[in-house]
A and B are shown apart, each in its own frame.
Chain A
Amino acid sequence: MEEKTPVVEMRSIRKEFLDVVANKDIDFKLYPGEVCALLGENGAGKTTLMNILFGYYANDGGEIFIRGEKVELSSPKDAILKGIGMIHQHFTLVPSQTVLENIIIGAESEKGFFLDLNRARERVLELEDRFGLKVDPDAKVWTLSVGEQQRVEILKALYREVDILIMDEPTAVLAPKEVEDLFSTLKSLVASGKSIVFISHKLHEVIEISDRIVVLRNGEVVAERKTKDTNTKELANLMVGREVLERLKKKKAKVGEPVLRVEGLTVLNDKGLEAVKGISLTVHEREVVGIAGVSGNGQTELVEAIFGIRDYVSGTISVRERSLKMGKPAERVEVGIGRIPEDRIETGLLMDLTIKENLILENHTSPEFSRNGLLNHARINDFSDRLIREFSIKASGRETITKSLSGGNLQKVILARELSGKPGVIIASQPTRGLDVGAMEYIHNKILEEKDRGAAVLLISEDLDEIFDLSDRIIVMYEGRLMGEASAESASREKIGLWMSGVAK
């Protein structure tokens, strides 16, 4: 394949953000009709590089050639005109509008003043047939499943007649069955002559779908391999830059009394539909229960209900026989639930305030820190300094504005706050999403430490490795229900994967 001229050639691309160099003079080529995987950890610079190719970011250095011609891509519009399409990890759809409206918006083919939906519908249906992408063009996007939404994104790109398609972590939100469908779509796209960049950090997927693999680490290309000449072990070492650690050692402990009990819980999502349908579960002392499942199957709503920030229709939540009220987050603090929310920035942290002000969020009214409505700054400062040390938060001090911290340190601030009170229950929702390997290890160890201390831990994650590494018991959630439950020893990846796709034993 190397003989052909590349469709895309990026030469010594450089991109600097405020305090990091995201791309350090990267060279990258994409050949016609191939799937090239861009492999790397979170923060390796994969997405940044592709956002530059897509015209979304302006590069600080380097040149881009498309089909041998030097180009200036100053906006996605330029990129689209050159035949480049990108499907971002977070979909760029308008939920309140129809599939058709989402597809035609801004497309060059749309001439005239008025919308011509009939003509557009025909073209979309034709594309759906050709590439096997079934979705109702007149459905509102918010009614679609994640898999269908991804199809809309692909259709959006095809509608613009792109022949270079960038897909950023496309499988992150899909169930195993949907991943298969996606891969067959990608194969038919390549067969029709399109070239694909597949961004991922999942080794087995990269091996399965790609022809060639480019590995990025810390903003640099560290290796390039033909897929047939490499294996997951080599790739893992290249990606992380050192021998990958052995699996964590979780100690097998005797579980204690039941602590957290959820019974018959039914919760509505923002659209007023039932997202959690009568779920019951129990977590014991010295036990990690992992909830696996593809995002969007009600995990978020379940967690928010337990956190006290979402009302529920029916059911009870109790900690050590004490029943908790709806919409009372303060009560969760009081009974000792450490809560690690999936959305660190929106829910977990006051990004514009200092580290100290974040650390005291939940206990600033305790007699230790305030009396008669007045804050005791001396004690608060001591407390903050101690936590910053204990959790090795990398910052210049307690007065550092939180938003200047890295992702891993943000999570440490939350951990410090939530674990400082030695909670009896810990609920960790996607605790390592978007973090690099170092931060991930730290958080995994912390969770296991807490379990050994005696805490009852409920872990919600879409990362199966994480679930298997940490859990004593695994539960799979699908469409608001519990599909199945297995002990960590008896669970196989295959069985869990089937459950995640909604297939019962």
Chain B
Amino acid sequence: MISFRIVKRAPLPNWAKVVIPIIAILVTLILSAIPILIARGNLWKSYYYLFYGALGTRFNLLETFVKASPLTFTGLAVAFAFRAKFWNIGAEGQLLAGAIVATWIGISFNGFSPFVLIPIILIAGFIAGGIWASIPALLKTKLRADDVVTTLLLNYVMIHFMGTLLFGPLQQPGSSWPRSPEIVEAAKYPILLARSRFHLGIPLALLAVIAVWFINKKTVLGYQTKAVGVNIRAAHFGGINTTSVIVKTALISGGLAGLAGVGEVCGIQYHLLMDLSPGYGYSGIVIAMLGNLHPVGVFFAALFFSVIIVGAQSMSRMTGVPTYIAEVIQGLALIVMLIAILFTEFKIKVVRK
């Protein structure tokens, strides 16, 4: 009789941490052939347009970077929270909180220079997202309310709050659509490369990657976040104020998600609208996992995802495979990555009896 058992393995060397996500991505792409075939798409054509659509022309390539910006922010947001085992599934709502505040400032603060207004919006958007995330953090630490459930439900609260605003005080006068007025010119992110939408939010995302890396590696907070995440009881025993660490983690996590929302309003749409985010907050979870919760990993995972999202558009146009293939691939990527991570710690042992 042959049976399989999962047993611990000796720790893998560091290069494995880079190689394993790459293998996971390759496996995901191979598995994606199944839905493509079901949709009667031609495989080679589909993969070709997936990558051509994302990387093939200057415009497409820059569009991929544009998409990568909010994904990097939400990925960082989730990764930072997960490191402390604060299960922030609420990046979507925090993103919207940032977007709402950015819109409000963007339409009501007239006569400022962009050099003043954009920093104000960034700070305000960060704080808005941070505060929205700190609510479930406080509920978790003070009242022991499950953070998964509260962060998720607060997403719906925020969506409907945004709906209330867009059908109320923030609605464009004279319009019946749920859409805000356009933000003032000074609030718009500058476009950094001509004939594209490559805006300020992209370098900001890179800056955020560095900032999070710095916090993780070099600061007391980064150390405490990690300690709380691996064993909250031992962290408390060691004298760390765990409540304060979780709330600070939530503030930063939510703030990063808020900046994703700021970027969508000030860099892309210039309005607030109901479908501002096609689920960037949820994609952030996959990106965080795919990036192994490491900021640099998150950045590359976000890039990969924007390739999929942008590429799926042209693949869909050329082959008729529905664009939702992008969502399917995201889900697959998470599952495959999870399994891949497992094999960094365990191996399958064949037992013959």
Residues of chain A touching chain B, judged by Cβ–Cβ distance below 8 Å, are 18-19, 58, 72, 74, 307, 309, 329-330, 332-333, 339, 341, 346-353, 357, 360-362, 364-365, 370, 373-375, 377, 401, 404
Contacts and interface: CB of A to CB of B under 8 A. Distances in A.
A74 B1 CA distance: 10
Contact of A329 (B9, B231, B239, B353): B239
A18 B227 contact: no
Interface of B: 1, 3, 5, 7-11, 218-221, 223-224, 226-227, 230-231, 233-241, 351, 353
A353 B226 contact: yes
Contacts of A364: 220, 223-224
Contacts of A58: 5, 351, 353
A362 B221 CA distance: 14
Given A333-B239, A375-B219, A375-B220, A74 B226 contact: no
Contact of B230 (A74, A352, A377): A352
Contacts of B241: 330
Contacts of A350: 227, 230-231, 234-235
A330 B243 CA distance: 14
Contact of A373 (B219, B226, B233): B219
Given A364-B223, A375-B220, A347 B237 contact: yes
Given A18-B8, A330-B241, A364-B220, 14 more contacts: A72-B1, A307-B237, A329-B236, A330-B239, A332-B239, A333-B239, A341-B237, A346-B234, A347-B234, A348-B234, A348-B237, A362-B238, A374-B219, A404-B11
Contacts of A347: 233-234, 237
A58 B351 CA distance: 8
A375 B237 CA distance: 20
Contact of B233 (A19, A346, A365): A346
Contacts of B8: 18
Given A74-B353, A329-B237, A341-B237, A353 B230 contact: yes
B218 A375 contact: yes
Contact of B238 (A329, A351, A374, A375): A329
A348 B230 CA distance: 12
Contacts of A360: 223
A504 B241 CA distance: 43
A357 B3 contact: no
Contacts of A404: 11
A267 B231 CA distance: 24
A360 B238 CA distance: 9
A375 B353 contact: no
B82 to A, nearest CB: 14
A331 to B, nearest CB: 8
Lowest 7 CB-CB distances: which A-B pairs, in order? A330-B239, A361-B238, A352-B230, A329-B239, A333-B239, A350-B230, A373-B220
A330 B235 CA distance: 10
A365 B10 CA distance: 33
A365 B241 CA distance: 12
10 contacts: A58-B351, A74-B1, A347-B237, A348-B237, A350-B227, A357-B223, A373-B221, A374-B220, A375-B220, A375-B223
A64 to B, nearest CB: 11
A349 B231 CA distance: 8
Nearest to B353: A72
B309 to A, nearest CB: 33
A370 B222 CA distance: 12
B234 A361 contact: yes
A343 B270 CA distance: 56
A475 B231 CA distance: 33
B173 to A, nearest CB: 47
A364 to B, nearest CB: 6
Contacts of B227: 350, 353, 357, 361
B228 to A, nearest CB: 10
Contacts of B226: 353, 357
B234 A349 contact: yes
A116 B2 CA distance: 38
Among A72, A349, A401: residue with most chain B CB under 10 A: A349
B121 to A, nearest CB: 26
A347 B236 CA distance: 9
Contacts of A353: 226-227, 230
B319 to A, nearest CB: 45
Contacts of B235: 350, 361
Among A361, A374, A377: residue with most chain B CB under 10 A: A361
B5 to A, nearest CB: 7
A154 B233 CA distance: 34
Nearest to A377: B218
Contacts of A349: 231, 234
Nearest to A344: B234
A238 to B, nearest CB: 32
A271 to B, nearest CB: 17
A69 to B, nearest CB: 16
A357 B9 CA distance: 23
Among B224, B231, B233, B234: residue with most chain A CB under 10 A: B234
A476 to B, nearest CB: 27
B223 A18 contact: no
A500 B124 CA distance: 64
Contacts of A307: 237
Given A373-B221, A375-B219, A362 B233 contact: no
Contacts of A348: 234, 237
A400 to B, nearest CB: 9
Contacts of A341: 237
Contacts of B11: 401, 404
A356 to B, nearest CB: 10
Contacts of B234: 346-350, 361
Contact of B218 (A330, A333, A351, A374): A374
Nearest to B5: A58
B105 to A, nearest CB: 29
A348 B321 CA distance: 54
Given A357-B223, A375-B219, A362 B239 contact: yes
Nearest to A332: B239
B148 to A, nearest CB: 21
Contact of B237 (A309, A357, A370, A374): A309
A309 B10 contact: no
Contact of A18 (B9, B221, B239): B9
Contacts of B233: 309, 346-347
B231 A346 contact: yes
A74 B3 contact: yes
